[in-house]
Every structure is written in C-alpha cells, then in structure tokens.
C-alpha cells in the first residue's frame, strides 16, 4: 500500500474562537494522533492599528489606546506610555504622582496575575479557582472605580499627573484590602499547588532553557521562571521603584509550574510594594502645573525617546518620535506578550495537545497587546 506522508498528520485549526485560546489566538496544529508536531500561531485578529492612531492624536489623547492594549493590566500600559511621553515632552511629574502611579500599577499587576491564574485553571479544566480569583480581582476593580471612575480601561493617569488625587478614604480602603488579600491569595494558591493532578499537569512541562528564552526575547515572569532575574523595576528603575524594598522572584525549574509559582510570588511582592508606597506617600500636588488641562494639548515634543517599564507580561517598551508638533510623529510599542508568544512553537514541539494548552496558558497572552 502506498504510504502518503501527508495523510499521516491531522491538521487542526484551533481558534480564533476556541475556549482555550485566550482572546483571538489562532493556532494551526499539525497532529500525529495526540502529539503536536508543529504549531503555527496566526495573529492579527484583534489588530486595531493602535500605533498609527496614536500619530493622529495629541500627546495626552494617545493614552487611551494604551489602555486598550493590555486591557487586563491597563495601569501598567499607562505607566509605560507616560514614561516615554514625559521624557519626550520634558515634563517631570510631582513626587506624589510617582508614588500614586506605583501603587496603581502594582495593584493592577495583582489583578492581572489573578486573571491569569483563573484562566490558567480553566485551561487545565479547573473551574472553581476562576471564581475565587475573580472575586479578589473585583475588589481591586472596585477600588479603581472609586479612584478613577472606571474599572478596566481606566484612563487614570495623564501627562504630568493623575486624574484624581488619593484621599484618606481611598488609602484606608486600599490598606483594608491589602490586609485581607494575602490570606485569600494563599487560599487560591493552595487550591492549585496542593492538587496532585495540577502538579502532574504542570511539572516538567514546557521547559524553557534560559538561552532560548533570551534569544527569543522572552521577558517578564516567563524569563524569571527560567532562572534569569531580569526585572526592569530592579535593573533600570523608573518612577520610585528604587526607593521601595522588594525582591525579584526567580525559579530555576523552567517549567510551567515554575511560571505559576513565580507569578504568585510576584503578587506577594506587589502587596509589599503597595504597603510601602502607602506609608511613604508624600503630600503635594497631583499634577504638574505645566501640563494642566488647558495647556495639555499644546505640549510639543522633539527628538526620539525609548522608555521601558515592567508590565505584567514583561518588558514593555515604547519608542516615540516627536517632530516638534503637538502630535507624535511615530509611536512604536515593544509588546512583551507578542515576544513571549513567539516561543510557543518551540516549546510545544512533540508534546501532547493537553500540554500544548497548558504551555500556551502559561505564557499569559492578552491579545489586545499582541496585535495592538
């Protein structure tokens, strides 16, 4: 009988509408039975041309397109944009604003990692932790509603300041949240980590060697789970990260479980950072008078800047060119999730479909950011 090489493999199309592909990832799989021979991620289903639209807007207005990139961790996106824009426009935010931004970014980092943990549980077939983490996330989003007026795409920060100042009530409520959150976090953590099936599904799966990770440009918790302690907050501090005390968690295990543990440890560190920031929060104005509302659209920038920040997914870079007009000439985004996704075909070679789903879940993809 003639043997047809092509008919040996099943070609399976996963997504863009599929329960395990967070958002609109499409994967073209070549399967040999249950084994994945090849994965080809196909992206672009959520492409909204954000970088180009930024060129059509004033410096202050382009911010909202960054909110919609990583919509799970919008505060970190805003910090990333403003790091670049303020450098280009030569506007220094007041001291209080820097601390407020750190608080908001870290709270949002917790929320983002919680969402990831829930979705990761769903990938593995665990329904229950999803609701536990979303309850905690909802508390953070309620805080955001009180501070910024909206839950997810907050549009809270602006050039040279923030939209609203913190008051005592807010600070009290954040403290209240931080007091009870670590207990809940441990509860959720134990739901996962004390489950033998969870361990067997994640341990030694999707091993990412540090050299490979570096050559693919992988950053964030993925890289730290491979044993490289690279964190922009530590290595190239922005805002006031050099004045708070925290550690960068790493793991030498390199597998999916290591990424899980690193993300949970990061949440604990974030709690620590927010607590310190609340203690050290200085008094002062909450915006730079040079960038008050009536002057904001007249800000002009010239030259080019690159600013990097540590978003929830990894190193988030914004490259911005100004030509002396009121609008940026070019905005480019280095998206961490996009770079992290590029390692998926390497990781899921010759693994089972179930493992492939676990690996793609461990990357923490948010498609607003991958496609921009």
Partner 1 sequence: MNLLTRIALILGFLGHYPAYILAYIIETLIVLIFAVVVVAGMVYFFRKYMARVQMRIGPNRVGKYGVLQVMADGLKLIQKESIMPQGRDDLPYKVAPLIIFIALIMGFVFIPYGPLAWLGTLTVTHSDVSLVIMFALIAIMPIGELLSGIVSNNKYAVLGSLRGVAKDISFEVPMMLSVLAIVMMASATKGISPLDLNGIVQAQNIPFAILEPLGFFVFLISMAARASYSPFDMGESDSELVTGNTTEYSGLRFGMFYLGLFGTIFLGSMILSTMYLGGYNGPFVDDLGFIWLLIKTMVIVVISLTIWLSMPRVRIDKFVTFGWKYLLPISFINLILTGFLVLGGIS
Question: Is residue 200 a contact point for partner 1 (CB under 8 A)?
Answer: yes
Segment lying near partner 1 (by CB under 8 A), choices 89-97, 197-205, 301-309, 333-341: 197-205
Question: Is residue 24 a contact point for partner 1 (CB under 8 A)?
Answer: no
Least gap, CB of 188 to partner 1 (angstroms): 12
The residue among 49 and 128 lying less far from partner 1, judged by its C-beta, is 128
Least gap, CB of 256 to partner 1 (angstroms): 12
Q: What are the DSSP calls for 290-352, one per residue? A: GG-HHHHTT---EEEEEEEEE-SSSEEEEEEEEESSSSEEEEEEE-HHHHHHTTHHHHTTTEE
- Burial class, 82, CB count within 10 angstroms (exposed 0-12 / middle 13-18 / buried 19+): buried
Question: Is residue 190 a contact point for partner 1 (CB under 8 A)?
Answer: no
The residue among 19 and 229 lying less far from partner 1, judged by its C-beta, is 19
What are the CA-CA distances from residue 141 to residues 114, 145, 174, 213, 349 (Å)?
12, 6, 11, 33, 38
Question: Is residue 255 a contact point for partner 1 (CB under 8 A)?
Answer: no
Q: Give residue for tokens 């601390």.
A: 99
The residue among 190 and 215 lying less far from partner 1, judged by its C-beta, is 190
Choose which of 46, 191, 248, 295 interacts with partner 1 (CB under 8 A): 191
The residue among 68 and 201 lying less far from partner 1, judged by its C-beta, is 201
C-alpha 287 chain-centroid distance: 26
Choose which of 56, 171, 197, 297 interacts with partner 1 (CB under 8 A): 197
Distance CA 193, CA 97 (A): 38
Segment lying near partner 1 (by CB under 8 A), choices 55-63, 140-148, 192-200, 217-225: 192-200
CA end-to-end span of the chain: 50
Least gap, CB of 197 to partner 1 (angstroms): 5
- Burial class, 256, CB count within 10 angstroms (exposed 0-12 / middle 13-18 / buried 19+): buried
Nearest to 291 by CA among 303, 300, 279: 300
Least gap, CB of 306 to partner 1 (angstroms): 38
Segment lying near partner 1 (by CB under 8 A), choices 14-22, 72-80, 177-185, 224-232: 14-22
- What backbone phi and psi angles, to 5 degrees, belong to 118? -65, -45
**Site pattern 126..165 for partner 1 (x: CB under 8 A):** xxx-xxx--x------------------------------
Least gap, CB of 189 to partner 1 (angstroms): 14
Question: Is residue 195 a contact point for partner 1 (CB under 8 A)?
Answer: yes
DSSP state of 250: -
H-only helix segments in 60-127: 63-67, 74-89, 95-123
Least gap, CB of 174 to partner 1 (angstroms): 23
The residue among 22 and 113 lying less far from partner 1, judged by its C-beta, is 22
Q: In this structure, what token pair is assigned to residue 182?
A: 């670590």
Q: Prior bond to 16 cis, omega within 30?
A: yes
Provide the β-strand partners of residue 157.
162
Contact 317, 191 (CB under 8 A): no
Distance CA 11, CA 36 (A): 10
**Site pattern 102..131 for partner 1 (x: CB under 8 A):** -------------------xxxxxxxx-xx
Size of site (CB under 8 A) for partner 1: 30
Least gap, CB of 35 to partner 1 (angstroms): 10
**Site pattern 342..361 for partner 1 (x: CB under 8 A):** ----------xxxx-x----
Q: Give residue for tokens 């501070």.
A: 147
Residues of span 302-341 touching partner 1 by CB under 8 A: none
Q: Which residues bind partner 1 (CB under 8 A)?
A: 10, 12, 18-20, 31, 34, 121-128, 130-132, 135, 191, 195, 197-198, 200-201, 352-355, 357
């Amino acid at each position: 009988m003639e043997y047809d090489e092509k008919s040996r493999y099943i070609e399976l199309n996963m997504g863009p509408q599929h329960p395990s592909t967070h958002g609109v990832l499409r994967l073209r799989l070549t399967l040999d039975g249950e084994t994945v021979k090849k994965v080809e991620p196909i992206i672009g289903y959520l492409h909204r041309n954000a970088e180009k639209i930024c060129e059509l807007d004033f410096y202050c207005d382009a911010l909202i397109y960054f909110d919609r990139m990583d919509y799970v961790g919008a505060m970190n996106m805003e910090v990333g944009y403003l790091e670049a824009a303020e450098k280009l426009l030569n506007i220094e935010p007041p001291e209080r604003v820097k601390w407020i931004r750190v608080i908001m970014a870290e709270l949002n980092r917790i929320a983002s990692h919680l969402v990831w943990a829930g979705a990761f549980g769903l990938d593995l077939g665990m329904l229950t932790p999803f609701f536990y983490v979303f309850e905690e996330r909802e508390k953070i989003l309620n805080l955001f509603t009180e501070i910024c007026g909206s839950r997810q795409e907050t549009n809270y920060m602006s050039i040279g300041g923030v939209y609203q100042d913190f008051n005592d009530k807010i600070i009290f409520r954040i403290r209240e949240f931080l007091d009870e959150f670590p207990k809940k976090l441990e509860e959720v953590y134990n739901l996962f980590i004390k489950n033998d099936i969870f361990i067997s599904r994640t341990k030694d799966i999707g091993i990412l060697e540090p050299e490979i990770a570096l050559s693919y440009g992988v950053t964030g918790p993925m890289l730290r789970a491979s044993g490289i302690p690279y964190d922009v907050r530590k290595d190239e501090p922005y805002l006031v990260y050099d004045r708070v005390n925290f550690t960068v968690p790493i793991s030498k295990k390199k597998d999916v479980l290591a990424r899980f543990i690193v993300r949970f440890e990061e949440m604990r560190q974030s709690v620590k950072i927010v607590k310190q920031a609340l203690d050290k929060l200085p008094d002062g104005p909450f915006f730079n008078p040079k960038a008050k509302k009536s002057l904001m659209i007249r800000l002009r920038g010239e030259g080019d800047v690159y600013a990097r920040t540590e978003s929830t997914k990894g190193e988030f870079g914004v490259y911005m060119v100004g030509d002396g007009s009121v609008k940026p000439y070019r905005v480019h985004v280095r998206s961490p999730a996009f770079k992290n996704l590029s390692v998926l075909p390497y990781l899921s070679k010759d693994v089972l479909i179930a493992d492939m789903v676990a690996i793609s879940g461990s990357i923490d993809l948010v498609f607003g950011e991958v496609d921009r």
